[in-house]
């Protein structure tokens, strides 16, 4: 199977200063030599608690965070050395779906404008083709063409997340980074969105990097899983194998903590 | 047969503007002494409103009717002064977001102390001792007594909230999604802590959540709410393993499980409507 993304020794340290004259400096290793790869058309889940570096990892892959060290190969291209137009053309292929559907849509734009923006940035100039594409995608995520005139506040959380997904997919990316896409949603809506993501993956042959802290969801969506703690990759492998036979103590603890699995008191 | 510590009869909540709009529609249930009752439901099902109405903290724009019997006294009929004496002393509450419920400019020691002094005239040194005991009870090192909320992690903040709730040994603890904002490992710790405290202090708990995994861990009895109504109730194993109502079945179909690869089935609302009409 072809590797779509391959990273090597990703490292990022944030420096925290304390005190008025910044005398105390502490280094926080958000990412500490993280290497992994994702096969095309599969889903890789990243699990870990808050502060484990999952989001820094995601942001570094879309070049929103500048890494200190390491290399990222995406589709055979060295991602970190790209600049200008070349970077822009690769950015089209890596899109992101964010956690909070309330904060990630501009409240002053209607859905048509929100969906049109990525197309404009990437020079889709033909108005009719653009409109057609937007209509296709909005219907594909389960909303209707008449919704395009509406503004984000007129939608529920689940509907907003659908808009976020449509916006990410409209450029037909190869890799989609989902940063806790369902953790702000009700369990019933969560099931809908997970199903939608799965269907879209089949339809478009997408590759997902799926960040979550809910191991039950990992079991459902992921082919492979990597467990992170304090910026380090502590365990990695096939989802089924890791769940059945975790090797690392921290992974064991995480699996033990899944609600509903704790052995019931007397 | 255990005694009911809380008994709710035909509780309805409407807005004052439109008294035909039922946010909670004549629900009745009870919480048994020393037991944990969980209310499960999606957002908007009325579970938090039910909890708030028990300590009479509903927004003034809402109107409630019905009976809320706590130890056979009707909370709805109490004066503002009477209910204030009950809050914290007999009925305590823990909220979802520990950062917004703590005052950021006061130390946690001060805030726990405040919870005690409202209901007690004990001398200062006794109260300080009690604060230390409470911190120990919830597992926060005593050195942290002069820390501010922003110096603590999310789990520790929730522990502080629990210490405040425990300060007067309440008979009933209402916990409104206390672990939703926390990491899984921390969630497991907090659930364990609450369960231990419940048995140690012989407390009853009304626990609100939308997570069936949490229900399985902590509940004795379960109530499932949908659109302001109770659609199913029963002992935890019966509701989770053999649900009767079509909504409970549908909702359980959405819950990912950690053991096997169960297929997730999103709720088909048309089918659900038809199934509910048949009842």
Residues B210 and B241 in one domain: yes
Asked if A161 contacts A80 with a C-beta cutoff of 8 angstroms, the reply is no
Please tell me the distance from the alpha carbon of residue A84 to that of residue B214, in angstroms, as a whole number.
49
Residues B74 and B117 in one domain: no
Q: For B205-232, how does the pLDDT look when each residue is reduced to its tens digit (9 = 90+)?
A: 999 998 888 999 899 999 999 999 999 9
Distance from CA of A180 to the nearest CA of B (A): 13
Token pair listed for A238: 């096939």
| Percent of chain B whose pLDDT exceeds 90 | 58
Please tell me the distance from the alpha carbon of residue B132 to that of residue B137, in angstroms, as a whole number.
9
Residue B153: its pLDDT value, please?
Answer: 85
Q: For B106-115, how does the pLDDT look when each residue is reduced to its tens digit (9 = 90+)?
A: 999 999 999 9
Residue A264: its pLDDT value, please?
Answer: 44
Residues B235 and B142 in one domain: no
Token pair listed for A228: 């992170």
B133 falls within a domain: yes
Distance from CA of A142 to the nearest CA of B (A): 13
B100 falls within a domain: no
- In the structure, what pLDDT confidence band is assigned to residue B261 with cuts at 50, 70 and 90? low
B255 falls within a domain: no
Residues B84 and B209 in one domain: yes
Domain end, chosen from B167, B188, B208, is at: B167
Residue A228: its pLDDT value, please?
Answer: 93
Query: From the candidates B35, B188, B231, B269, which should be mutated to test the interface with A, based on the most A CB atoms within 10 A?
Result: B188
Residues of A in contact with B181 (CB under 8 A): none
Is the Cβ pair B184, A214 closer than 8 Å? yes
Using the structure block, give the residue that is written with the tokens 């570096």.
Answer: A53
CATH code at position B9: 3.40.50.300
Pairing mode, strands A224-229 and A43-47: parallel
Residues B9 and B127 in one domain: no
Is the Cβ pair A259, B267 closer than 8 Å? no
Residues of A in contact with B216 (CB under 8 A): 259-260, 264
Is the Cβ pair B184, A258 closer than 8 Å? yes
Q: What one-character DSSP code corresponds to residue A152?
A: G
Residues B145 and B203 in one domain: no
Residue B21: exposure state from Cβ atoms within 10 A (0-12, 13-18, ≥19):
exposed
The CA angle B65-B66-B68, to the nearest 5 degrees, is: 115
Residue A261: its pLDDT value, please?
Answer: 63
Asked if A157 contacts A179 with a C-beta cutoff of 8 angstroms, the reply is no
Residues B135 and B234 in one domain: no
Between B156-160, B162-166, B175-179, B269-273, the lowest mean confidence (pLDDT) is in: B269-273
- Residue A260 has its nearest CB partner, among B185, B213, B264, at B213
Half-sphere exposure of A66 (CA within 13 A, CB side): 3
Residues of A in contact with B210 (CB under 8 A): 186-187
Residues B45 and B113 in one domain: no
Residue A22: its pLDDT value, please?
Answer: 67
**Which residues form the domain of B160?**
105-167
Asked if residue B269 has pLDDT above 90, the reply is no
B183 falls within a domain: yes
Is the Cβ pair B264, A191 closer than 8 Å? yes
Pairing mode, strands B62-70 and B4-15: antiparallel
B279 falls within a domain: no
How far apart, in Å, are the Cα atoms of A141 and each of A161, A165, A177, B250? 10, 8, 17, 22
How far apart, in Å, are the Cα atoms of A172 and each of A1, A135, A176, A201, A222? 21, 14, 10, 11, 21
B25 falls within a domain: yes
ipTM of the complex: 0.75
Helix (H) or strand (E) holding A187: helix A187-204
Helices (H), chain B: 47-54, 80-86, 98-101, 108-117, 124-138, 154-166, 184-201, 212-218, 236-241, 246-253, 269-278
pLDDT top residue among B151 and B264: B151
The architecture that CATH gives domain A41-66+76-256 is 3-Layer(aba) Sandwich (3.40)
Asked if A41 contacts A51 with a C-beta cutoff of 8 angstroms, the reply is no
Domains in chain A: boundaries: 41-66+76-256
Residues B78 and B116 in one domain: no
Query: From the candidates B48, B209, B264, which should be mutated to test the interface with A, based on the most A CB atoms within 10 A?
Result: B264
Q: What one-character DSSP code corresponds to residue B31?
A: E
Distance from CA of B5 to the nearest CA of A (A): 22
B132 falls within a domain: yes
Asked if residue B259 has pLDDT above 80, the reply is no
Residue B164: its pLDDT value, please?
Answer: 93
Cβ contacts of residue B77 below 8 Å, gap of 6+?
none
Nearest residue of chain B to residue A219 (CA atoms): B258
Token pair listed for A75: 């589709």
The whole-number average pLDDT for the span B68-88 is: 91
Using the structure block, give the residue that is written with the tokens 């502060």.
Answer: A51
Please tell me the distance from the alpha carbon of residue B41 to that of residue B223, in angstroms, as a whole number.
9
Which residues of A have a CB under 8 Å from any CB of B? 49-50, 186-192, 194-195, 213-217, 219-220, 243, 253-262, 264-265
Q: How many domains does chain B have?
A: 2
Residue A265: its pLDDT value, please?
Answer: 38
B98 falls within a domain: no
Which residues of B have a CB under 8 Å from any CB of A? 42-43, 154, 183-188, 191-192, 195, 210-217, 250-251, 253-259, 261-262, 264-267
Please tell me the distance from the alpha carbon of residue A264 to that of residue B102, in angstroms, as a whole number.
31
Residues B143 and B237 in one domain: no
Is the Cβ pair A220, B256 closer than 8 Å? yes
What sign results for the dihedral spanned by CA atoms A133, A134, A135, A137? positive
Instruction: Output Rg (C-alpha) for chain A, integer angstroms.
Output: 20
Residues B65 and B181 in one domain: yes
pLDDT in tens, chain A (266 residues): 789 999 999 999 988 777 777 677 788 888 999 999 999 999 999 998 888 888 889 989 988 888 999 999 998 889 888 888 888 889 899 999 988 878 889 999 999 999 999 999 998 888 999 999 999 999 999 899 999 999 999 998 889 999 999 999 999 999 999 998 888 788 888 898 999 999 999 999 999 999 998 888 998 899 999 999 999 999 999 999 999 899 999 999 888 888 876 544 33
Is the Cβ pair B257, A256 closer than 8 Å? no
Residues B22 and B150 in one domain: no
């Amino acid at each position: 199977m072809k590797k779509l993304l391959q990273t090597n020794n990703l490292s990022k340290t944030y420096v925290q200063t304390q005190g008025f004259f910044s005398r105390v400096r502490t280094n926080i290793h958000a990412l500490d030599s993280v290497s992994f790869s994702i096969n095309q058309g599969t889903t890789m889940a990243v699990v870990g608690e808050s502060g484990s570096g999952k989001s820094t990892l995601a942001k570094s892959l879309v070049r929103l965070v500048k890494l200190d060290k390491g290399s990222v190969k995406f589709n055979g291209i060295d991602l970190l050395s790209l600049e200008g137009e070349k970077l822009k053309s690769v950015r089209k292929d890596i899109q992101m779906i964010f956690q909070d559907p309330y904060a990630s849509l501009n409240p002053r734009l209607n859905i048509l404008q929100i969906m049109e923006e990525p197309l404009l940035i990437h020079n889709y100039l033909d108005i009719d083709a653009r409109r057609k594409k937007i209509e296709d995608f909005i219907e594909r995520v389960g909303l209707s063409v008449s919704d395009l005139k509406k503004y984000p506040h007129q939608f529920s959380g689940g509907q907003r997340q659908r808009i976020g997904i449509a916006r990410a997919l409209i450029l037909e990316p190869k890799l989609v980074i989902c940063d806790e896409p369902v953790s702000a949603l009700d369990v019933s809506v969560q099931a809908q969105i997970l199903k939608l993501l799965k269907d879209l993956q089949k339809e478009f042959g997408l590759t997902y990097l799926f960040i979550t802290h809910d191991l039950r969801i990992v079991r459902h969506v992921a082919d492979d899983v990597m467990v992170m703690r304090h910026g380090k990759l502590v365990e990695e492998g096939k989802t089924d194998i890791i769940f059945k036979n975790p090797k690392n103590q921290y992974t064991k603890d995480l699996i033990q903590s899944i609600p509903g699995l704790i052995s019931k008191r007397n | 047969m255990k005694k009911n510590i809380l008994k709710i009869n035909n509780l309805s909540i409407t807005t004052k503007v439109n008294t035909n709009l039922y946010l909670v529609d004549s629900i009745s249930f009870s919480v048994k002494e020393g037991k944990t009752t969980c209310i499960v439901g999606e957002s908007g099902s009325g579970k938090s409103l039910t909890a708030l109405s028990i300590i009479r903290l509903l927004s003034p724009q809402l109107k409630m009717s019905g009976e809320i019997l706590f130890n056979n006294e009707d909370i709805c009929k109490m004066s503002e002064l009477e209910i204030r004496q009950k809050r914290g002393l007999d009925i305590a509450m823990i909220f979802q977001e520990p950062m917004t419920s703590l005052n950021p400019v006061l130390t946690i020691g001060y805030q726990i102390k405040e919870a005690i002094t409202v209901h007690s005239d004990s001398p200062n040194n006794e109260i300080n001792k009690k604060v230390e005991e409470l911190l120990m009870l919830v597992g926060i090192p005593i050195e942290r007594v002069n820390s501010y909320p922003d110096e603590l992690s999310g789990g520790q903040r929730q522990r502080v909230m629990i210490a405040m709730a425990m300060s007067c040994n309440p008979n009933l603890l209402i916990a409104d999604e206390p672990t939703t904002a926390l990491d899984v490992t921390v969630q497991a710790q907090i659930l364990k802590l609450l369960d231990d405290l419940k048995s140690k202090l012989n407390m009853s708990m009304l626990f609100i959540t939308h997570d069936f995994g949490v229900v399985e861990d902590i509940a004795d009895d379960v109530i499932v709410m949908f659109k302001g109504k109770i659609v199913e109730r029963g002992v935890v194993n019966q509701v989770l393993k053999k649900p009767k109502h079509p909504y409970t079945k549908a909702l359980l179909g959405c819950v990912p499980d950690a053991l096997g690869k169960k297929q997730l089935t999103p709720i088909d609302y048309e089918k659900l409507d038809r199934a509910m009409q048949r009842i």
